[in-house]
């Protein structure tokens, strides 16, 4: 990343970490974001879909496999890239994380893999807003740069598309 883009990325991270914050909002965003740890929300949704929607079980199963695949691939990329999480002066992270590696965002990867895979089953208007909110929650909480989110969303969309086509 060029120095100019890195500064812009950091400035956006600071803006997200300082705008629209209240104790109540932070609690709500933190609780919501925790449901995305290890792709749990999306894996649970896919499992429930496969159980209750028997006629489309195979589609639910493939889409859920895409979520799991995006999460695993994301983890592998994090271990190669090894980008550290944001350290914003005077602005500590508002949630703990399993690792100190941030690129790409696993929340974004799994969320957009789910959005791509589940949209044909439940409707894009239902799943993409939730996926976007999940991904954005990580910048709001100070544990990701916006570029981590963009990379994760792209990765998830590609994996989700490959497993549902």
Break the chain into its structural domains and give their ranges: 3-164
Is pLDDT above 80 for 27?
yes
Q: What is the overall mean pLDDT for the chain?
A: 94
Name the β-bridge partners of 17: none
State the DSSP code for 83: P
Q: Which CATH number fits domain 3-164: 1.10.606.20, 3.90.420.10, 3.40.50.720, 2.60.120.10?
A: 1.10.606.20
On whether the pTM is more than 0.95, the answer is: no
The larger pLDDT score, comparing residue 154 to residue 11, is at 154
68-100 pLDDT, tens digit per residue, is 999 999 999 999 999 999 988 889 988 989 899
């Amino acid at each position: 990343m060029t120095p100019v883009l890195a500064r812009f990325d950091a400035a956006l991270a600071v803006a997200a970490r300082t705008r629209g914050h209240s104790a109540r909002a932070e609690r709500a965003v933190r609780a919501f974001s925790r449901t995305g740890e290890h792709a749990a929300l999306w894996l649970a949704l896919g499992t429930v879909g496969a159980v209750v929607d028997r006629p489309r079980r195979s589609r639910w199963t493939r889409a859920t496999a895409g979520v799991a695949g995006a999460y695993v691939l994301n983890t592998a990329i994090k271990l190669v890239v090894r980008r550290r999480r944001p350290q914003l002066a005077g602005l500590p992270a508002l949630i703990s994380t399993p690792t100190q590696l941030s690129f790409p965002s696993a929340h974004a990867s799994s969320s957009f893999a789910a959005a791509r895979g589940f949209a044909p089953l439940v409707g894009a208007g239902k799943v993409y807003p939730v996926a976007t909110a999940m991904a954005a929650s990580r910048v709001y909480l100070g544990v990701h740069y916006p570029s981590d989110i963009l990379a994760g969303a792209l990765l998830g969309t590609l994996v989700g598309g490959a497993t549902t086509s």
